[in-house]
């Protein structure tokens, strides 16, 4: 694939961030004239200038390598497999986070929202999903919104669906990721679960935090979630990993999670049960069909 000229890439990212040349020039501490010359190809940036502009534009590490190459420099950022020896410390940290949240569900996913690791409590979220949606790679967006996934168990499905789609759309707009665009196009046309109607909740007030409410045979489990990322990643794989953890929003959910929790104390490595049960990780990404 032919690499786009540096100036074109720079302009694309600037426009994606809704910045004028003057605004970006002020952020990057250079003249508007110099920035304009780089965008039109009349000036070749130094390696340090490429990295400075990428930083000011919050360009993902994955997309900084093409910018460096287009400007005539070697790629800087690696994309390592989670199984690589140099990822041992990160893998251990991920495992600790996932185990520490038990008996609460916690899972890690990549830029495609494919699960790469999870603790055993995630099973409480997946009950009722059809086997084909549980096959690797398990995609959290598909299994959440597909009527053969867990959609029919989500009590507040309309709100939760709106939340997921807004999150996907925001990420796609920030990154320009073509796969995310295709994922949005796919899931937005999924049929609603039987008996579910589309409601306009634009002016509704869900409270201080939108809960995920799951219907079970014994009652409704209610969760609030948090998303955790690595703070200072210099590897593409680590930057694109996120950990979502689900905490009980009421006493009933807390007691149910304790009741159905794992037997015995958690062991090191428990957090990688999903990764070791069939996900093929290549270059830090779950392989796509």
Give the percent of the chain with pLDDT over 90.
80
| Same domain, residue pair 96 and 33 | no
Q: What is the CATH number of the domain that holds 30?
A: 1.10.260.40
Query: Token digits for 69?
Result: 């190459």
Q: What is the tally of structural domains in the chain?
A: 2
Which of 45, 70, 95 is the last residue before a domain boundary?
70
| Same domain, residue pair 139 and 225 | yes
Which of 35, 70, 105 is the last residue before a domain boundary?
70
Q: State the distance between the two ends of the chain, measured CA to CA, in whole angstroms.
A: 20
Please spell the DSSP secondary structure of 250-289, one letter per residue. SHHHHHHHHHTPPSS---TTTTBTTGGGT--EETTEEPP-
Contact 68, 44 (CB under 8 A): no
| Same domain, residue pair 128 and 247 | yes
Nearest CA among 69, 57, 49, 51 for reference residue 3: 69
| Same domain, residue pair 256 and 165 | yes
| Same domain, residue pair 43 and 182 | no
Query: Token digits for 119?
Result: 């603790």
Within-domain flag for 259 = yes
Within-domain flag for 77 = no
Within-domain flag for 47 = yes
**How far is Cα 289 from Cα 182, in angstroms, rounded to an integer?**
14
Query: Token digits for 16?
Result: 């994606």
DSSP state of 193: P
**How far is Cα 54 from Cα 226, in angstroms, rounded to an integer?**
28
pLDDT in tens, 183-207: 999 999 999 987 766 554 444 555 6
Which of 22, 38, 70 is the last residue before a domain boundary?
70
Within-domain flag for 250 = yes
Burial (CB count within 10 angstroms: exposed 0-12, middle 13-18, buried 19+), residue 4: middle
Give the pLDDT score at 199.
55
| Same domain, residue pair 22 and 108 | no
pLDDT in tens, 54-78: 999 999 999 999 999 999 999 999 9
Within-domain flag for 79 = no
pLDDT in tens, 79-137: 999 999 999 999 999 999 999 999 999 999 999 999 999 999 999 999 999 999 999 99
What does pTM read for this prediction?
0.83
| Same domain, residue pair 112 and 226 | yes
Rounded mean pLDDT of 11-32? Answer: 97
Q: What is the CATH number of the domain that holds 134?
A: 3.30.450.180
**How far is Cα 61 from Cα 286, in angstroms, rounded to an integer?**
18
Q: Residue 164 — very low, low, confident or very high, per pLDDT cuts 50/70/90?
A: very high
| Same domain, residue pair 46 and 126 | no
pLDDT in tens, 126-152: 999 999 999 999 999 999 999 999 999
Contact 151, 145 (CB under 8 A): yes
Within-domain flag for 174 = yes
| Same domain, residue pair 143 and 58 | no
| Same domain, residue pair 25 and 142 | no
Give the pLDDT score at 74.
97
Contact 277, 118 (CB under 8 A): no
| Same domain, residue pair 122 and 194 | yes
Residue with tokens 């950990």: 243
| Same domain, residue pair 42 and 147 | no
Range of the domain at 133: 85-286
| Sequence-separated (6 or more) residues with CB below 8 Å from residue 182 | none
Contact 145, 127 (CB under 8 A): no
Contact 65, 4 (CB under 8 A): no
Within-domain flag for 135 = yes
């Amino acid at each position: 694939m032919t690499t786009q000229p540096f100036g074109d890439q720079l302009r694309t990212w600037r426009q994606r961030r809704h910045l004028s040349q003057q605004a970006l020039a002020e952020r990057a501490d250079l003249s508007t004239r110099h920035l304009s010359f780089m965008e039109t190809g009349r000036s070749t940036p130094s390696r340090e200038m490429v990295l400075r502009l990428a930083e000011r534009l919050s360009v993902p590490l994955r997309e900084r390598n093409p910018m460096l190459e287009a400007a005539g420099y070697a790629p800087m950022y690696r994309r390592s497999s989670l199984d690589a020896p140099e990822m041992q410390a990160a893998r251990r940290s991920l495992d600790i986070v996932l185990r520490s949240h038990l008996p609460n569900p916690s899972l890690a996913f990549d830029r495609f929202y494919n699960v790469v690791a999870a603790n055993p409590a995630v099973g409480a979220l997946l009950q009722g999903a059809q086997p084909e949606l549980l096959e690797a790679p398990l995609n959290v967006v598909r299994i959440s919104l597909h009527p053969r996934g867990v959609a029919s168990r989500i009590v507040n499905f309309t709100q939760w669906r709106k939340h997921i789609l807004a999150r996907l759309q925001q990420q796609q707009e920030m990154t320009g990721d073509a796969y995310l665009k295709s994922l949005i196009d796919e899931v937005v046309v999924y049929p609603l679960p039987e008996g579910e109607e589309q409601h306009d909740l634009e002016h509704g007030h869900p409270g201080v935090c939108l809960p995920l409410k799951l219907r079970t045979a014994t009652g409704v489990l209610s969760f609030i979630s948090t998303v955790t990322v690595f703070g200072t990643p210099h590897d593409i794989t680590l930057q694109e990993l996120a950990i979502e953890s689900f905490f009980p929003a009421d006493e009933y959910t807390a007691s149910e999670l304790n009741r159905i929790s794992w037997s015995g104390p958690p062991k090191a490595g428990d957090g990688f049960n999903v990764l070791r049960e069939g996900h093929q990780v290549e270059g830090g990404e779950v392989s796509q069909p």
